[in-house]
Amino acid sequence: MYYYIFDIKKCKKRSQVENIKNHLAALGISGEFTYPSSAQTIEELVNLGLNKEYTTIVAIGSDEIANRVASVMVGKKEAMGFIPLEESPTSTLIGVKGWKDACEALRYRKINPIRIGRTGSGACFLTELQLSISHPTEVTLEFKDFIIQTQVKGLKISNFNPLIKKIGVDFLDISMISVRPENGSIISKISSVFKTVQDDKLAYSLLRARSLRVFTKNQIPLITSETQIAKTPQLIESTDENLRLITAKNAPVFWAE
């Protein structure tokens, strides 16, 4: 029994809604379609679907709706599906290239348990969270046994990043590019122009942790798939519970069990 939550604002054409509905019906996996509005949020619709005892809740739209549905579905026995309207980090996570691929994956209903990332404020992310900065920024990262201090050009906290090999299902991968120290001299400024790939490699850091706290001097947004879900200072952790996520057979990920 499928319960679909359709983020209609993300559709490029009105006909796309009908095309997806018709395709799902042709595959024999049609169900109830709902649409978030100012009267009913995505989270309220998920709870409504669970109360109606649907066994599969499916988000249709962008990564934003997938993350919001996941934040309610994590720890539940019901399964979550996702039909992306365009290629995105979450579509890579579930191993599909487009909405038709995702419909096929839904039909086969291969469920994989996965841990997801969660902020202290309760927002979740399936793939990765990024510090939204346009210039080098001083950050402090507090882990269980140590703290890290540096000035970063970029900071990502990934639950899933296809470029990083995961070492454990419940570990987040923290990657960052730090700023090389400069003494302000002309020579130093000129040499920074000619910096090599080797210099960039030296500035790269990678850490693994189940949880961490991110501190910055001023409040800075934390974004996932171009959507702000939290601000610093913030606790970020891997969930203790699993999300039962429907994926394609060849999904490239480390599953919880």
Partner 1 sequence: MENTVDTIIGINVTLKGNLKNKGSVQINGNVEGEIKSDENVNIGETATIKGPVVAKTIEVSGEVKGLIEATERLEINPTGRVIGDINAKTLIIKQGATFIGKSIMPSDGVVVPATDDNKEIKPQKEEEQEDKAGFFTKK
In degrees and rounded to multiples of 5, residue 196 shows phi and psi of -100, 170
Nearer to partner 1, 17 or 203 (CB): 203
Distances (CA, A) of 29 to 24, 25, 50, 105, 193: 5, 6, 18, 11, 57
Which residues sit at the interface with partner 1, rule CB under 8 A?
A: 143, 145-151, 163-165, 167, 176-181, 201-208
Q: How far is the CB of 222 from partner 1 (least distance, A)?
A: 20
Shortest Cβ distance from residue 111 to partner 1 (Å)? 28
Q: What burial class does residue 12 get, using C-beta atoms within 10 Å of its C-beta: 0-12 exposed, 13-18 middle, 19+ buried?
A: exposed
Strand order in the sheet with 234-238: 124-125, 117-119, 234-238, 211-216, 137-142
Two tokens, residue 96: 């599909």
Q: Which is nearer to partner 1, 16 or 205 (CB)?
A: 205
For partner 1, which is the closer residue by CB, 53 or 146? 146
Helix (H) or strand (E) holding 229: strand 227-231
- Smallest gap, in angstroms, from Cβ of residue 166 to partner 1? 10
Q: Which is nearer to partner 1, 8 or 177 (CB)?
A: 177
Q: How far is the CB of 38 from partner 1 (least distance, A)?
A: 44
The distance of closest approach from Cβ of residue 74 to partner 1 in the complex, given in angstroms and rounded to an integer, is 26
Angle between helices 99-108 and 14-26 (to 10 degrees): 30
Nearer residue to partner 1 within complex by CB, 35 or 215: 215
DSSP state letter for 241: S
